[in-house]
Chain A
């Protein structure tokens, strides 16, 4: 009996998750640290800038009728880069100029999907910059449309994006430090 009630609550929450219209508020708080990212061998880099190229302001999507608000996505992305192993506050030969191209979350049937797309311009002394695009995404069941649930999805997308950048850093470090 008790189990059935729990099931009913779970199913209802999934089905009704899309019905509220209270804003879902996200905060610039990473839920992961550098320790969880794969480390590039002895690669030091600095962050030149993080620029917002998205068309959205602080509204980064909606789950049903509930708008998803994030007041400082650029700051959030910057925080993610600062967790990439090798990041330094001091100027380095390898400098990353980051453009935020997309940041949104949307609902899909009973799921939700968070996406973060960036372009990174790898700047190295006396060399042409190289640009690469990265997409971090997370698709997961939408249980309650709660702030923390959506926040976690966005954090996982950021982590996937950061992991890809971390994986690429090695090759750029090598060329940046070879001159």
Chain B
């Protein structure tokens, strides 16, 4: 069987779940696509998963209320072993990438990490992924009876839900004790369109000038375009914007149809989070800013003047 772990948040199935199903169905390996739902109060998530997978395994347990890499990896490895899974697919979100290596070690399996394609070739799994700060595409191969694959969000199309729901089964798990105590959580829900899923992203850097400048210019332009807001690490570190908006090596990876980089110089760490965007628009006062090398369109000029002019033009 091909086992996939269903990503979800706030009681809702994530878009990445549909993408994992597509990855599983196109991988070219035999067996049903089994979705594993781990969490507490996840009946609604399991019901949606039943429309996209061939079978759903559910562990709805109070112990699984809070994500923990040790608990998640123990659960996934156990189910993979019991079901003799050939392939285990996990979303390559930050949490997914924190526990998938542990699953690989438990199963003595190779890990194909953060892949954008995955295909069986004569028993070996061949995948493509990015490396060197998203500047290189490498093709990698794992020859193993069991392989763990973490799948880059946004790399696969979403699977279409079926009209019939697949069967659901509860599973018993032998979970290890929780050793990390979570003493607090700062959730950052901005109430805007989700950054990783947006068609248009407007991102700002230090060039926005100040927190107020950011709100007026970057958020203002995003509002006008119905876009998500992104930020550089420097802006987040300065406390201007929440971490959830950070794009780059230590933040989110996005690939919208249009990415507006406003007052962003274009450090490789930032570019590695956005250089897969279909169209990149750069606005910066420095004509030598590296961001212009990655831009399809751009304006060399003062963002304090250009952005209000853009907003006015879009309003026309």
A and B part of one assembly: no
